[in-house]
Amino acid sequence: MNTPETNRPEIPPVAEVAPGASWLESARAHLPAVQRWAYLNTGSFGPLSRPAEEALAAWSRRQLEEGRIRPGLWDEMDALAAHLRRRFARLVHAPPESVALTHHTTEGMNIATWGLRWRPGDTLVTLATEHPGGMLPVYAAARHHGLDVRVVAHTEADTEASLLAKLEKAITPRTRLVAVSHVSWKTGMVLPIREIAELAHGQGAFLAVDGAQAVGAIPVDVRTLDADFYAFPGQKWLCGPEGVGGLYVRPECLDALQPAFVGYASLRDRDAWDETGHFIPAPGARRFETSTVYIPGLAGMAAGLTWLESLGFARIFAQVQEMTRLCRRELTTVPGVELLAPEPAAGLTVFRMAHTPPEEVVTFLARRGILVRSVRRPDGVRISTHFFNTPEEIARLVSGLQALGSG
Ligand SMILES: Cc1ncc(COP(=O)(O)O)c(C=O)c1O
């Protein structure tokens, strides 16, 4: 039976914060991992927030102690999933019902790529700098259907204008799908998605956007961007648990995208199928969900979003900009450091250091308690600056690099 308590799958109280703490101190108090490190690798995994972890642990404990099935619990789990879909939709300014829950960005990019009704002679366009999460579904679907992939040679030297010129050449009336990132994981460049959408739509192609390095770092409005499909994760810039992500599907594209995987979670309701193979999909993007999910993860993600909203996304995005600008400015003062990508930036800064391979830089900094990562082709060291990072951490990074350069 649903008790009033179980109808509220919400959110345990947040950690104690010292009276008079600043916005930043209070935020950092909810991110224990940032006490331990100069945490400059959110682009790989953000620090898990305490509100997310507490909600996740509370659900997990309930599962342990109360069991995972009893009358009323399905409704509660459905309500939690619906709640998170709506929260994700609000976050990316999508209409309600146009967001499906996924397990990660890569799943969203696969759904968008495999679901199109491919025709002989179609081509797919992507960028050489794409993450495997967006690029490999393109190659795999192309191989499966016997189609061509055009890979645009995006480099760190590209500006918005040069990239658009290359894409304009590659996108033709035969192009069926353009798959690109909103923010490049290799260079940190923010891609001109709206203009890319114009190029794609102008030739009758769909645009799938990998938002892994954008959502939670910069404002994302999928309608203004004019994306057809937009995939994003919970575990990076939203500081949520791994295993939870979202996929926006433009409502007008629902009929063009076949669910490649289906199961009970894809249905309008649990009885909307029969043994002849007839089934009725959910009216919105939920039709791209398949089956059982990790409920504590959904609860953790929802609680983490509530916390971020309480901090204010406008302020979070402003802080990301401020810290990224500071990071870029300070890095240019280090002898031998060369920044790779032009502005505009989101939260990623990639640089090369003369005479030192990126992996060596990463290892050297980790020994000093500074978390960054390396990227390849183009080779560089990648810094992620999120709202919780501080000027002191940037100063530590800079003095670490100076020490490395002079040692
Ligand atoms: C641009 C980009 N796309 C996709 C991914 C993969 O994300 P996920 O683990 O959510 O599939 C990452 C990071 O790992 C990424 O940086």
Q: Which CATH number fits domain 313-406: 3.90.1150.10, 3.40.366.30, 1.10.4080.10, 3.40.50.720?
A: 3.90.1150.10
Distance 240 CA to ligand 1 centre (A): 14
Task: Tell me the pLDDT tens digit for each residue of 225-244.
Answer: 999 999 999 999 999 999 99
Atom of ligand 1 nearest to the CA of 133: 4
Q: Whose CA is nearest to atom 14 of ligand 1?
A: 44
Residue 13 has pLDDT above 70, yes or no: no
Cβ partners under 8 Å of residue 116, min gap 6:
141, 176, 177, 206, 256, 257, 258
pLDDT-derived band of residue 10, with 50, 70 and 90 as boundaries? very low
Q: Dump the DSSP string for 83-151.
A: HHHHHHHHHTTPPTT-EEEESSHHHHHHHHHHTB---TT-EEEEETT--HHHHHHHHHHHHHHT-EEEE
Does the global pTM surpass 0.75? yes
Q: Is 104 near ligand 1, meaning CB less than 6 Å away?
A: yes
149: β partners = 124
Residue 72 has pLDDT above 70, yes or no: yes
Query: Which residue type, as a one-letter code, is found at position 214?
Result: A
Q: Is 134 near ligand 1, meaning CB less than 6 Å away?
A: yes
Cβ partners under 8 Å of residue 110, min gap 6:
137, 260
Torsion angles phi and psi, residue 99, rounded to 5: -120, 130
Distance 131 CA to ligand 1 centre (A): 7
- Mutation pick for ligand 1 pocket among 113, 185, 350 (CB with most ligand atoms within 8 Å): 185
Q: Dump the DSSP string for 205-255.
A: -EEEEE-TTTBTTB---HHHHT-SEEEEESSSTT---TT-EEEEE-GGGTT
Across residues 334-363, what is the average pLDDT?
Answer: 92
Q: Is 241 near ligand 1, meaning CB less than 6 Å away?
A: no
Distance 18 CA to ligand 1 centre (A): 36
pLDDT attached to residue 15: 57
pLDDT attached to residue 18: 76
pLDDT attached to residue 211: 98
Across residues 43-49, what is the average pLDDT?
Answer: 98
Q: Which CATH number fits domain 76-307: 1.10.1660.10, 3.20.19.10, 3.30.70.3270, 3.40.640.10?
A: 3.40.640.10
pLDDT attached to residue 219: 98
Q: Whose CA is nearest to atom 7 of ligand 1?
A: 105
Residue 146 has pLDDT above 70, yes or no: yes
* Measured CA angle at 311 (ends 4, 43), to 5 deg: 105
Q: How far apart are CA 78 and CA 143, in angstroms?
A: 37
Distance 233 CA to ligand 1 centre (A): 7
Atom of ligand 1 nearest to the CA of 107: 11
Residue 7 has pLDDT above 80, yes or no: no
Distance 273 CA to ligand 1 centre (A): 34
Distance 209 CA to ligand 1 centre (A): 12
Q: Give me 257's structure tokens.
A: 């995208």
Distance 213 CA to ligand 1 centre (A): 7
What are the boundaries of each domain within the chain?
76-307, 313-406
Q: Is 213 near ligand 1, meaning CB less than 6 Å away?
A: yes
Distance 298 CA to ligand 1 centre (A): 19
Tell me whether domains 76-307 and 313-406 share a fold: no
Across residues 44-68, what is the average pLDDT?
Answer: 97
Q: Is 185 near ligand 1, meaning CB less than 6 Å away?
A: yes
Q: What percent of the chain has pLDDT over 70?
A: 96
Q: Is 133 near ligand 1, meaning CB less than 6 Å away?
A: yes
Q: How far apart are CA 129 and CA 135, in angstroms?
A: 9
Distance 382 CA to ligand 1 centre (A): 14
pLDDT attached to residue 6: 40
pLDDT-derived band of residue 3, with 50, 70 and 90 as boundaries? very low
Q: Is 212 near ligand 1, meaning CB less than 6 Å away?
A: yes
Q: Is 245 near ligand 1, meaning CB less than 6 Å away?
A: yes
Give the chain's mean pLDDT: 94
Across residues 262-286, what is the average pLDDT?
Answer: 97
pLDDT attached to residue 132: 98
- Mutation pick for ligand 1 pocket among 44, 154, 190, 236 (CB with most ligand atoms within 8 Å): 236
Distance 106 CA to ligand 1 centre (A): 6
The closest alpha carbon to 320, from 259, 243, 239, belongs to: 239
pLDDT attached to residue 135: 98
Residue 4 has pLDDT above 70, yes or no: no
Pick 35 or 345 by higher pLDDT: 35
Q: Is 106 near ligand 1, meaning CB less than 6 Å away?
A: yes
Residue 130 exposure: Cα atoms within 13 Å on the Cβ side = 27
Distance 152 CA to ligand 1 centre (A): 20
